[in-house]
Structures are given as C-alpha cells and as structure tokens.
Amino acid sequence: MGNFQNPSSWQRKKGYELTQSVKINSLELENVKRVKAVKLEPAQSGLTIVGGRNGQGKTSVLDAISWALGGNRKKPSQPHREGSVTDPYLHVELTNGLIVERKGKTSALKVIDPAGNKSGQNLLDQFIEALALDLPKFMESSSSEKAKTLLQIIGVGDHLFDLEAKEERLYNQRTSIGQMEKQKRGAAEEMEFYPDAPSDPVSAAELIQQQQEILARNGEKQRKRDHADELAHELEKIKAEAADHDRRTNELYEKWQEALGKQSGLAMAIDKAERELSDARKTADQLQDESTAEIEASIAAIDETNAKVRTNVARAMAMKDADELKEQYEDLTREIESIRADKMKLLADAKLPLDGLTVEMGELIYNGNAWDCMSGSDQLRVATAIVRALKPECGFVLVDKLEQFDPQTLQEFGAWAESQDLQIIGTRVSTGDECSIVIEDGYSNAQVAPIPTPQPTTEQPNEEVNPWQM
C-alpha cells in the first residue's frame, strides 16, 4: 500500500526513487514551545504514543513535527521555548533518506537528500499530506466538507452529486404530490355521497313540455271564458239600446217605420246574441282547468336528484384526481429507488478507504451512523483512513489527545494501523505502559516498546469482525 507509481523528477535526477510510503525514522527536538530536548524513533507501523502529564510538552512534539515538515504555515505563534537562550532546533530523518532541519534564529528550513543535495519545502509538499499533520482540522470540518474529501479520493464526486441532486428534486416533488393526494382524497371522502342517485343527471325537458302544453290548453279555455264575458257585455249594450229605442218610439212616430225595421233587426240580433251567450256559457261551464302540481313536484324531485348526481360526480372526480396523484407518487418512488440503487452501485464499485464507509446525501456515513453519531474511536478511524488515502505516499499521521480512548481501543487502533503499514504518532495524558515515550518537563526520559498487537485467544465462542480492519 502506498507505493509510488510515478516517481517525481527530483527522485529520477538523484538516481533513486521511493518504493514505499514515506515515514519518520527519527526526530530530535530542542527548545520548541514546551519541549526542552526530545529524541524519538517511532515505530515504522502501528501506534507510537507520546505520553505524559498535562503541560509537559506532549502536544509540543506534534506541533514541532508539523512545523518541521509542513512549512512556515505550521509554525507556532511562539515557537521559542520560554526561558531558553538557545534557538529552536528541529531535526527529522525520513525513510526516503531526506533529512529535514530547522535551526538558528530564523529557523530556516534545510532539506538534504541522500546525495547531499539541498532542497526546500516544495519537495516535502510532494509527498506529505497537510491533513496528516493536522488531523483535527479534518475532524472539525463540516459534514459536507468531509464527504467532499472522501469523494475527491474515490473520484465519483460529480456523478454522485448529480444523482443526489436529482434524488432530492424528485423527493421534494414526490413529497408535494403526496401531500396533494392526501388533501384531495381527504376532501373527497368528506364530501356527501348518495348511493341511490343515478349515475347521470335526469332531464326535465319532457315534463316541462307537458307542463307548457297544459298551460297552453288552460290559456285557450280562459280565452273562451273571456269571449263569453264580452258577448254578455255586448248583449247588455244591445238591450240598453233597444230600451232607448222604445222610449223614443212615441216621440218619433214619424220615424216609426224606420224604427220598426231596426227594431226587428235588433230583435234578431238579441236572439242571436242570447243563443251565442247560452252556448258560450254552456261551454265555459263545462271547461275545467288542468293541474300542473304533479308535474311541478316531479320537476322539483328531478332538481333534487340531479343535485345528488352532481355531488356524486364531483366526489368521483376528486377521487380520480387523488388516484392519479397516487400513481405519480408511486412513479417518483420508483425513480428515487432507481437513483439510490445507482448511488449504491457507484459507491460499491469505488475503492473506499474503509469498509462500512460511504456517503449519503452529502454526509459521511460509517456503519450506518453519521459523523455526529459516531463514537470517538470511529471518528478517529474514519478520519485517519481518509487522510491516509488523500496522499498514500505520506505514510504517517499525527493524532493528539488519545486519552479519550481505553487501552483496548488503542490496541485495536494500533493493530489496524500496523495492518495498513501506517505510522501513527499520537499523544496521551498518561505515563502508563501504553506510552512509547514519556515527556516530563519538556524532556523525553523514557522509551518503551510500541503498543503490542492484540493476539487472538484460544477460546472464541463468538466470531467477531475487528472494527479496525478495512
């Protein structure tokens, strides 16, 4: 793991090339922050713990390594040990043969290769990962930044982002449709329903026509009644005129002949009028108006029935709309499931730095847990694996504050690091046997063996997977 595939130009020019990831062979530090004098030869793989009580200079060791290899951007704000008259001195020897030094008033960088040639920070930057010197920076970054870093490593970021954007769009669309479907169906179910009503509206046109015909016949009968009344009125006028002629007969004797003729005509007219009146009254008395009450009741019933039909039709349409929305919802669900399957395949085909590690909706997920739901040990494991994968040629990682982990967890972490040929230098508030070196008052006064790899026991009732294994 971590072999160079493409040796850099400086390696080829100097006549040698790196065949393994670069690690720290040894380091010497003097007068850096709280460090007075520290020498350390960390284990080439696994976990090397710098122990000590609080304020003794443990973290200063990591800061010094970071400054030595990471450049002036990693320089402490107050690098000179308080009270010392001697300038800081940093000496780091790497497994690729490079010697890195900072000394003197300016703490100028000097990088010397095995051939004695001098170089600078650009050379170190080729194989040293900045986050390996500052793991907390990665651990404290946002969830989206962590996910982007992982996707950068496996090279599927753009494709995954496109899939997740499409998934989010379809998910929001489906949510909206689901809400509309529930509202539509709920409103439909609350609408009144008449199971006895016909499926189609009933026409009242025929009944209305019948009603109009009856009204027309009744109107004709009324016209006849009015005509009989007119004839009666005319008879009264004739009778009055005849009486007037009678009164004037004696006065108008000389016109008797004329009046007599007229009288005869009037008598005939009276007779005719009486006969017509008698016939008209006889006919009118026989006429009976037809009732439209029954038809009007039927029309009213039709209106009530049709109101029920319209209510049922409206309810059926609302249910149809709800069913259509449900179909759209189900179609979107299938699309979303297809996208999620594509995402899973995309990530499954990618070479991830840790089993159980993936990205979901822009967040790191490890064994089903988001970053804020991971244990501290899982966070450390994930961060270390990702940072190592960023630049495999960088074979070491610096880790501070390991006191939060119990000895068993530390052993498992160390075993995992050793299986990955990864050098981890960490600090822990402790002076116990788990420490590879103990710092007291800025000095390294003890050197012990690295943390041993846990050995399997003879009794294994339950076969468990080592969580540190990739």
Q: Is 236 helix (H, G, I), strand (E, B) or coil?
A: helix
Distinct helix (H) and strand (E) counts, the chain: 11, 14
Q: Choose among 146, 137, 140: nearest CA to 364.
A: 146
Note whether 89 and 103 are within 8 A (CB). Answer: yes
The fold for domain 9-128+391-447 equals Rossmann fold (3.40.50)
Q: Choose among 83, 104, 100: nearest CA to 35.
A: 83
Strand partners, 91: 28, 101
Q: Could you give the angle at the alpha carbon of 69 between the alpha carbons of 68 and 72, nearest 5°?
A: 65
Q: Is 466 helix (H, G, I), strand (E, B) or coil?
A: coil
Q: Which pLDDT value is given to residue 67?
A: 92
- pLDDT (tens, 9 = 90+) of the chain, 470 residues, equals 333 233 344 444 443 344 478 999 999 999 999 899 999 999 999 999 999 999 888 899 999 999 999 988 888 888 888 888 889 999 999 999 999 999 988 888 999 988 888 888 888 988 888 888 888 888 888 887 887 777 777 655 566 666 677 778 888 888 988 898 888 888 888 888 778 777 777 667 777 777 777 888 888 778 888 878 888 888 888 878 777 777 766 666 666 666 667 777 777 888 778 777 777 776 666 667 777 787 777 777 788 888 888 888 888 888 888 888 888 888 888 888 887 776 666 655 557 778 888 878 778 889 999 998 988 888 888 888 888 888 889 999 999 989 888 888 888 889 989 988 999 999 999 998 889 889 998 888 644 444 455 554 444 433 333 444 43
Kindly report the pTM of this predicted structure.
0.55
Q: Which pLDDT value is given to residue 12?
A: 42
Q: Where in the chain do CATH 3.40.50.300 domains reside?
A: 9-128+391-447
